[in-house]
Amino acid sequence: MSLQEKMTHFVPGARLGEAESRSLRGALSRFGTGVAIVTTQGADGPVGMTVNSFSSVSLDPPLVLWSAARASRRYPHFAKASHMAIHVLGADQLELCQAFAASAHAFDSADWHMGADDLPVLKGCLARFDCAAYAEYDGGDHGILVARVLRATIGEGAPLLCYQSRFGRFDPEGR
């Protein structure tokens, strides 16, 4: 199979038009990512959000980051949060991923409990990071939220992955 390239040029300082925005989103979607759900305690109860922007930052101190669209109605809950839990999803958790992508209050369809620091904690994930808010940075139309890891939990299984806006799995055994 040959690799075909389609180049789009972006003019520095200019706003992206619809075609440029679509091209950029398409190029960014070629980077496969893991999928996570971030939860926190909101003013009216637990809130969650599906993300694929989760990344490690530092081991000393233990820092991770994720980003969220500032236009999202969920964003203020996380920007104000003192603590949050980041749950790395397994391949068998697609329905949970979709539920939290659709609704901030999808806890009815989840197996969860209140954990330390008044955090809503989802059960059965590949990994969970219980975190304290550390910093927030301007990321254009997104906020970049950096969190200090207080506790980490490890589960078992294959990861849920996102590639070209579709979900799939990776078989670590190479089958």
Answer yes or no: is 166 within a domain: no
pTM of the entire predicted model: 0.86
- 23: enclosing H helix or E strand: helix 18-28
Asked if 110 and 99 touch (Cβ cutoff 8 Å), the reply is yes
Answer yes or no: is 117 within a domain: yes
Classify 59 as helix, strand or coil: strand
Q: Return all residues near 163 (Cβ < 8 A) that are at least 6 apart.
A: 29, 30, 32, 33
pLDDT by 10s per residue, the chain, length 175 = 456 677 666 667 667 778 777 777 777 666 667 899 999 998 889 999 999 899 999 999 999 999 999 999 999 999 999 999 999 999 999 999 999 999 988 999 899 999 999 999 999 999 999 999 999 999 999 999 999 999 999 999 989 988 777 777 776 666 6
Burial of 52 (0-12, 13-18, 19+ CB in 10 A): buried
Query: Phi and psi of 18, rounded to 5°?
Result: -60, -45
Q: What is the CATH number of the domain that holds 116?
A: 2.30.110.10
Answer yes or no: is 101 within a domain: yes
**96: containing domain:** 34-161
Other Cβ atoms closer than 10 A to 158: 14
Number of structural domains (the chain) is 1
- Residue 80 tokens read as 């104000």
Answer yes or no: is 72 within a domain: yes
Answer yes or no: is 142 within a domain: yes
Predicted pLDDT of residue 174: 65
Answer yes or no: is 145 within a domain: yes
Predicted pLDDT of residue 33: 79
